[in-house]
Amino acid sequence: MSKENEKYHDLKVIMFARKVTQADLADMLNVSEQTVNAKLNGRGDFTIEEAEKIIEELEIENPTAIFFKSVLRGT
């Protein structure tokens, strides 16, 4: 798995566990499914507002590990 593709791996796992599709996430964020796909696959980043919405809607308990992993690792 390339570094770009692993960026949001934990978010993908949470989505799978909660049966949330990319289409569901796109609707939640009011963006296209292609935009969500690009971001989930490391070709962009979620905005702060999008991250906050995802954290709230998916009830993510440790959002720092998902959205700020590269900051924590120093990369």
Give the tokens for residue 31: 């963006």
The whole-number pLDDT of residue 15 equals 97
- Which CATH code for domain 3-73? 1.10.260.40
- Give me the residue label for tokens 């507002």: 49
- Mean pLDDT per 10-residue interval, the chain, length 75 residues: 72 97 98 97 94 96 82 50
CA 6 to chain centre: 11
Q: Do 19 and 12 form a contact (C-beta atoms < 8 A)?
A: no
Q: Where are the chain's structural domains?
A: 3-73
Q: What global pTM score does this model have?
A: 0.82
